[in-house]
Amino acid sequence: GAVVSQHPSWVICKSGTSVKIECRSLDFQATTMFWYRQFPKQSLMLMATSNEGSKATYEQGVEKDKFLINHASLTLSTLTVTSAHPEDSSFYICSARWGGSNSPLHFGNGTRLTVT
Amino acid sequence: KQEVTQIPAALSVPEGENLVLNCSFTDSAIYNLQWFRQDPGKGLTSLLLIQSSQREQTSGRLNASLDKSSGRSTLYIAASQPGDSATYLCAGAVDAGNMLTFGGGTRLMVKP
């Protein structure tokens, strides 16, 4: 089945530094990938939609200059948390669709970000 | 704006019991609804996807139904096992773009 790989699975960084998270579709081409954030004991919230070769579409309340998304190829999207702060500590999950619009979304295993 | 609610938030059952997880959504113009499983600290595993034109989908011991008119979906788990312990999330998409709105999840514990 479709596999979405996310790296790293966890990262600890100091406040003020930047962190890059990669999301790869291993056995299919994904024209669209989605980035979600999940705070403890809460459900997932969509942050942005990443389209290959174009700018990402951000959800209301998500700072595009803070969460930089790049989707340079059909198999790779990256999320960079710039100038991270402790309140950015969260679980970040990417997803991609394999097949047409009627196909289910497949998710990566997530990245646990802790900002100290 | 689509809102998705899951009840109960947590559920504990003995092994072997059949159980039903509930999901409700506010916008009946739903494109599809998907059920996921999330293990602690892990990503999501897609369990079942129901298109708006379908009423149910089955996979092994899992059966998901969709009733658009009432704004409800249920996930039925037969003969539950300890390995089924996880958080189950339902999510609805209102268009083909598959931008999902998630419910809060149901944390299931199946006791041996």
Residue B98: the pLDDT is 56
pLDDT for the residue numbered B63? 97
Q: Report the run of H or E that residue B77 belongs to, with start and end.
A: strand B72-77
Statement: residue A2 has pLDDT above 80: no
pLDDT of residue A22: 96
Report the C-alpha gap between A34 and A4 in whole angstroms: 12
CB A7, CB A109: distance < 8 Å: no
Residue type, A97: R
What pLDDT, in 10s, does the model give residues B60-86? 999 999 999 999 999 999 999 999 999
Q: Which of B41, B51, B103 sits opposite A112 (nearest CB)?
A: B41
Other Cβ atoms less than 10 A from the Cβ of A93: the count is 25
The model's pLDDT over A53-112, given as tens digits with 9 standing for 90+, comes to 888 999 889 999 999 999 888 899 999 999 999 999 999 999 987 666 666 778 888 899
Rounded Cα distance, A41 and B108, in Å: 14
List of chain A residues whose C-beta atoms are within 8 Å of the C-beta of residue B43:
4, 6, 93, 107-110
Task: Please give the single-letter amino acid code of residue B15.
Answer: E
B43:A108 CB<8 A: yes
**Model confidence pLDDT, tens digit, residues B17-46:** 999 999 999 988 888 899 999 887 677 888
Cβ of B89 under 8 Å from any chain A Cβ? yes
Contacts of B101 in chain A (CB under 8 A): 46
Those residues whose C-beta lies under 8 Å from the C-beta of residue B98, and which sit 6 or more positions away, are: A32, A34, A97, A101, A105, B31, B32
User: A93: which chain B residues are within 8 Å (Cβ-Cβ)?
Assistant: 43-44
| Residue B11 or B101, more confident | B11
Q: Does B46 touch chain A (CB under 8 A)?
A: yes
